[in-house]
Structure 1
Amino acid sequence: MQVGPSPTSGGPEPLLTDKEADVLRLVAQGLHRQQIAVQLTYTEHLIDKVMRRVLLKLGASNAPHAVLLACQAGILDGSRRRHGDHAGYAAHVYRGEVPCVLCREGEKAYRAAQKRAKRHAA
């Protein structure tokens, strides 16, 4: 399952496997690792391993944080976030990030239009 940029990072899209998304959904429902293992017929060790990968991919510090980030990114409700779901070039700069390609191109087009309008007005 691929999701769009995180609202907090605007960074690259994390790619969660179906297994990772299933485990994360069950964590979001409040199930413990033993319950998840039984429900998905996995071992508890595998559930731990999958959750470590989810935490790493989402940049989360713990399971509740992963659920929060997944909710914000639209992972848990299945709605893929579009690029326009974040504030754009200025938001990247404000957060000290390198702007993504789409934001950089949008900013270039905006500045070019402003320059043309200024020349036309003069």
Structure 2
Amino acid sequence: MTTPSSRRGPSSRPLTPRQLKALHLAATGHTHQQIAGQLGIAASSVGKFHTEIFRKLGAKSMPHAVHLAWQSGILRRERHGDHAGYAAHHYRGETPCDLCKAGERKYRNDRRNQTKEQAA
């Protein structure tokens, strides 16, 4: 019998900003010691961050977590400052940054103008 605590698979809770930073640092090749320095935590605590990231993403390892994060748009650099970046912020449960808000406004204005041109 599967209980909620033993259930495997992605969590519906988004990654926290510190978990996102830890994931990004791991994805760019930083060691536990370097990640700990960036986050201001003990190196032994980095493993706990990674375990929580794995659980939330439904990953089995850090390479798997990075793969899932890239695949879902969580780590994609090009997803910043445009409609996709705005949507990625919402997916992660964040308030979109000003750059992504501006990108979303431009996207909506462009779509509105396209609709007006097609109607004319």
TM-score (normalised: structure 1): 0.53
Q: Which residue in the other structure is 1:73 paired with?
A: 72
User: Measured at CA, do residues 12 and 43 of structure 1 come closer, stay the same or move farther in structure 2, by a change above 3 Å?
Assistant: closer
Q: Which structure 1 segments of 5+ residues have no match?
A: 1-8, 84-122
Q: Which residue in the other structure is 1:50 paired with?
A: 49
Give the aligned residue type for 1:34: Q
Per the TM alignment, residue 39 of structure 1 is displaced from its structure 2 partner at its CA by 2.1
* Matching of residues 83-98 of structure 1 within 5 Å: none
Map Cα deviations across residues 47-89 of structure 1 (whole Å, 9 max, x no partner): 1111100000101000010000000111113531899xxxxxx
Deviates more, 1:40-49 or 1:50-59: 40-49
Are 1:36 and 2:28 counterparts?
no
Q: Which structure 2 segments of 5+ residues have no match?
A: 1-8, 80-84, 92-120
Q: Which residue in the other structure is 2:118 paired with?
A: none
Q: Which residue in the other structure is 1:17 paired with?
A: 16
Classify the secondary structure of the residue corresponding to 1:76.
coil
Highest RCO, 1 vs 2 (Cα 8 Å, sep ≥ 6): 1
Q: Distance in 2 between matches of 1:82 and 1:75?
A: 10
Per the TM alignment, residue 40 of structure 1 is displaced from its structure 2 partner at its CA by 2.0
* Aligned CA-pair RMSD: 2.6
* Bigger helix fraction: 2
In the alignment of these two chains, the number of paired residues is 74
Contact 1:14–1:58 (CA<8 Å) still a contact in 2? no
Identity of aligned residues (%): 36
